[in-house]
Amino acid sequence: MEINIFQLNNYKLGSIGFTSRELENLKIDFVEEKLLSNDYNGNNPTNKIVYLKVLFDKGNKKILGCQIANEKNIEARFNTIKTIMEKGGDLKDLVKYKVNPTDDEWNPDILNILALSAISKSEENSTDVEANNIENLLKNKEFLLDVREEYEYQDGHIKGAINLPLREILEKKDTLPKDKDIYVYCRSGHRSADAVNFLKSLGFEKVHNVDGGFIDISFNEYHKDKGNLENSIVTNYNFD
């Protein structure tokens, strides 16, 4: 099983197994779970934000693919995923797997935490929109709302998205449409979730959170475009 790793500025972007797009094309029923966490453990932690995504079978919870973005430390984590996938392992195997073999005791890695989160997600229903659906939303001319600060928006955003920082929503709520769906995104999915709840309290019924935010969108687009922004749906990639 092959591990593919690309370099983008200071970041390493890696993938193993299937991507979301490939699973959709194969019409495989899957679930994806994402995690943004500080890279705090392992042999040489970066103490920087690391992005992880695991794709798993909705029925038997077997791992179908994984993507990671970090400045370093992605090889050991991919080797963990590779070992489990080659054995036909599932999320429960990843939960208990010792990612850092040099640790004297089992010290939970962010991969273990991701697996726990994925198990929890598979047991509940979510109305969030996945980042890999953004391209279809754009084709359908849906309303995309970026609730990050203006400087974040200028550093990179979805082409055609409207920027309205979270702190300005109450003041400018009348500029938003109530008769159409609004798809809200931020950096990681946290501020946008707050914005969705706030808009619902203001009487907006057709609002949806984009799970994973612009970091997840950037990862998907970079993997698809191989760094060529000309035909991308984003103005720039952002993993910070």
Look up 66 and say whether it is catalytic: no
* Distant-in-sequence, close-in-space partners of 153: CB < 8 Å, separation ≥ 6: 146, 161, 163
CB 134 within 8 A of CB 217: yes
Q: Which of 69, 84, 118, 186 does the annotation list as catalytic?
A: 186
Q: 219 by DSSP, 3-state: which?
A: helix
Burial 178-213 (b: 16+ CB within 10 A, else e): eeebbbbbbbbbebbbebbebbeeeebeebbbbbbb
Q: Which residues are catalytic?
A: 186
